[in-house]
Amino acid sequence: MIVPATARQRARVLHEELHEHNYRYYVLDDPVITDAEYDRLLRELQQLEATHPELVTPDSPTRRVGAAPLKAFGQVHHELRMLSLDNAFDDEELADFDRRVRERLGVETIEYAAEPKLDGVAVSLLYEDGVLVRGATRGDGETGEDITQNVRTIDGVPLRLTGDGIPRVLEVRGEVYIPHRGFEQLNRQAIAQEQKPFVNPRNAAAGSLRQLDPKITAARPLEMYCYGVGLVEGQLPERHSEILTRLGEWRLRVYPGIGRVQGLAGCIDYYQSLEQQRATLAFDIDGVVFKVDRLDQQQQLGFVSRAPRWAIARKFPAEEAQTRVAGIDVQVGRTGAITPVARLEPVFVGGVTVTNATLHNADEVHRKDVRKGDTVIVRRAGDVIPEVVRVIREKRKKGARRFKMPATCPECDSAVERVEGEAVARCTGGLFCPAQRREAIKHFASRRAMDIDGLGDKLVDQLVETGLIHDVSDLFQLDVEEFSGLERMAEKSAANLVNALDQSKETTLERFVYALGIREVGEATARILAQEFGDLEPLMQAQVDTLQEIHDIGPVVAQHIAGFFSESHNREVIRKLRTAGVHWKPVATTSVLSLKGKTFVLTGALSMPRNELKDRLQAAGARVTGSVSKKTDYVVVGDSPGSKADKARELGIKILDEAECLKNI
């Protein structure tokens, strides 16, 4: 059948438009049409192609999905070997690398291209006359698997390059990965469908590319950044950094923050700045790659065995490490919650030595099946508490016993209870339990509660152990002499402590309510209670029904609050605290504040400590939450904001910078 010229022309226009919108959406992150409009154009092209199959080309925007499942992957021989990267684990090794390069080339300073080392899967894309004709995994560097139909489903991978000077043959190499947000969503789905969640984004990316059915790959949130070229027939610039710029111009995705730096010092600066940004990046990176920028110098250097002499990966300190579980203890928290903790053989992870890792609760221990003596992978990300990721089952010794939650509290022998439907087991000892008492006092003294300077955890342990204090009100009865009798407590620090205790007596109602440590009453709830009741007496009198009527306070929390104040022991402690001089100004409950009821999210690096801005916003009646949703009114964005800013834009939420925000307070 002959295709009418009008249909052919229309198909061409649709190709152009769809490629353009795809590029704007997935590469530039700056779409100019709605998803619905995009779908309309795509459907129109699909219909045209259905009527006139001759119009279907391999680079048609309709060809991303639709290929039939394969029986097996074909093999791809890499014309030019895909090399691997040498590693440098500290600045000294990096300096050695730089020195070797300088000596071989006989020059004083080297210009390096610097780029993040993505933690994904290395992939090769082959373009002929600008059209994507093949995608392959790295494999052993020599032979990989043909995953053409899978890479086609990755929206950020152009099916056709656009622009000037595109080589006739261009092999592009890069890293396919799954960003954090996509990973979390993927695992939520997996759990909802009762499938095993992925261990980490890299495994998820690798698994997604290895699907024989491209429809499965298409449903995975894969992305790609290009880091270099392989086989080329045609002209390219003389520098690595300029080649990457050209790739970007032809609409391939290239990381926007690639640097060109001078010498070792420049490399170290770049490394440090990326390490700082690491937590705010939308994807996992495990280091920085430095490459001699000039291609003539690269050529001169050549490679040894499988790695080029002109490139090195400066790795971040490992966030995961292997160690052994010396034992599993349980810790009793402030509210009696019993948390199993793995005691580890000390191991250096993510820049610190780790000796304990939380196991969260009994279900978690059993799910991961962690046992005493096991070899485990521990992980430490940023400031979070280290955790056991998984057990290496092959290394388990015979006779290793499953963990059992103790039936009685290890601290006070009271019964341990687990309420139906709750994950947490609790000691029923209440303030009879020394562990709960200790933790309650630590909480009371903490910075965001009563802020008693100099009353650290170790000191509280001593005070409770020696019987000097029994509850928080006893703190205010101690004098310099009594404090200086304690271990590692000089008279000077004892005097400072008495002074700090004295100063802490002047507080606010919300801090005081928070400091009491009522179950599930965090800072936000304490603030609401202070604003609603204005002073402590009406709050202490409030019945469960009254409390429940308050917006944001549910039946469980209401029960905890009323329960706390109904206990004579608690009322007595409060009375003693007030007698000792703890006081606050009543809160004006009727005053209407400018930001009352508005929800804020803070993201990126601000010029003031984040908690300070949070305090000021809350003082003005605003709520400050951690994640962006439709209910968010404003997102305050600092330097290097992360995915929260993207999400705000996506949802059309108003974005303020710090200065604009302060003006509103």
Q: Which residues pair with 285 in a beta bridge?
A: 118
Would you say 226 or 359 has its CB closer to ligand D41? 226
Contact pattern for ligand D41 over residues 268 through 287, marking x by CB under 6 A: --------------------
When computed from its CA atoms, the radius of gyration of the chain, rounded to whole angstroms, is 31
- Site for ligand D41 contains 547 (CB under 6 A): no
How many helical (H) and strand (E) elements, i.e. helices and strands, does the chain have?
24, 26
Q: Compute CA 536 distance to the chain's CA centroid, rounded to the nearest angstrom.
A: 39
SS (H, E, C) 257-284: CCEEEEHHHHHHHHHHHHHHHHHHCCCC
The distance of closest approach from Cβ of residue 646 to ligand D41 in the complex, given in angstroms and rounded to an integer, is 21
The distance of closest approach from Cβ of residue 228 to ligand D41 in the complex, given in angstroms and rounded to an integer, is 5
The distance of closest approach from Cβ of residue 245 to ligand D41 in the complex, given in angstroms and rounded to an integer, is 15
Q: Kindly give the interhelix angle for 180-192 and 201-209, rounded to the nearest 10 degrees.
A: 80
Angle ∠(594,596,599) on CA atoms, nearest 5: 115
Q: For residues 515-550, b (16+ Cβ closer than 10 Å) or e, as one string?
A: bbbbbebebebbbbbbbbbbebeebbebeeebbbeb
Residues 292-351 contacting ligand D41, CB under 6 A: 308, 311
The distance of closest approach from Cβ of residue 82 to ligand D41 in the complex, given in angstroms and rounded to an integer, is 6
Give kind and range of the element (H or E) at residue 506. strand 506-507
Instruction: Number of residues interacting with ligand D41: please give it, by CB under 6 A.
Output: 15
- Gap between the Cα atoms of 267 and 313, Å rounded: 11
The distance of closest approach from Cβ of residue 122 to ligand D41 in the complex, given in angstroms and rounded to an integer, is 4
Would you say 225 or 403 has its CB closer to ligand D41? 225
Q: Which of 122, 388, 509, 628 binds ligand D41 (CB under 6 A)?
A: 122
Q: Compute CA 103 distance to the chain's CA centroid, rounded to the nearest angstrom.
A: 41
Contact pattern for ligand D41 over residues 194 through 233, marking x by CB under 6 A: ---------------------------------xx-----
Would you say 21 or 314 has its CB closer to ligand D41? 314
Q: Which of 49, 171, 175, 387 binds ligand D41 (CB under 6 A)?
A: 175
Would you say 287 or 386 has its CB closer to ligand D41? 287
Neighbours of 426 (CB within 10 A): 22
Q: Is residue 216 exposed (0-12), middle (13-18) or buried (19+ Cβ within 10 Å)?
A: middle
Give kind and range of the element (H or E) at residue 333. none
Q: Is 654 labeled as catalytic in the residue annotation? A: no
Taking a C-beta distance cutoff of 8 angstroms, is the pair 107, 116 a contact? no
Would you say 81 or 631 has its CB closer to ligand D41? 81
- Site for ligand D41 contains 289 (CB under 6 A): yes
Cα separations in angstroms, 38 against 22, 31, 284, 404? 9, 10, 30, 56
Contact pattern for ligand D41 over residues 51 through 90, marking x by CB under 6 A: --------------------------------xxx-----
Q: Which of 49, 59, 115, 374 binds ligand D41 (CB under 6 A)?
A: 115
Would you say 291 or 294 has its CB closer to ligand D41? 291
Would you say 227 or 483 has its CB closer to ligand D41? 227
Q: Is residue 374 exposed (0-12), middle (13-18) or buried (19+ Cβ within 10 Å)?
A: buried
The torsion region of residue 200 among left (phi > 0), alpha (psi -120 to 50) and beta comes to beta
Window contacting ligand D41 (CB under 6 A); options: 92-100, 112-120, 405-413, 426-434: 112-120
Residues 560-579 contacting ligand D41, CB under 6 A: none
The distance of closest approach from Cβ of residue 291 to ligand D41 in the complex, given in angstroms and rounded to an integer, is 6
The distance of closest approach from Cβ of residue 224 to ligand D41 in the complex, given in angstroms and rounded to an integer, is 10
- Gap between the Cα atoms of 445 and 123, Å rounded: 54
Catalytic residue among 117, 614, 644, 647: 117
The distance of closest approach from Cβ of residue 296 to ligand D41 in the complex, given in angstroms and rounded to an integer, is 16
Handedness of CA 159, 164, 168, 173 (dihedral sign): negative
Give kind and range of the element (H or E) at residue 127. strand 121-128
Would you say 298 or 531 has its CB closer to ligand D41? 298
Which of the 8 DSSP states describes residue 239? B
Would you say 179 or 336 has its CB closer to ligand D41? 179
Q: Which of 118, 125, 344, 653 binds ligand D41 (CB under 6 A)?
A: 118
Q: For residues 608-638, b (16+ Cβ closer than 10 Å) or e, as one string?
A: eeeeebbebbbeebbbbeeebeeebebbbbb
- Site for ligand D41 contains 145 (CB under 6 A): no
Window contacting ligand D41 (CB under 6 A); options: 86-94, 117-125, 435-443, 520-528: 117-125
The torsion region of residue 644 among left (phi > 0), alpha (psi -120 to 50) and beta comes to alpha
- Site for ligand D41 contains 117 (CB under 6 A): yes
The distance of closest approach from Cβ of residue 135 to ligand D41 in the complex, given in angstroms and rounded to an integer, is 15
Q: Two tokens at 466?
A: 């020696």
Q: Three-state DSSP class for 133? A: strand
Would you say 19 or 78 has its CB closer to ligand D41? 78
Residues forming the active site: 117
Q: Which residues bind ligand D41 (CB under 6 A)?
A: 83-85, 115, 117-118, 122, 138, 175, 227-228, 289, 291, 308, 311
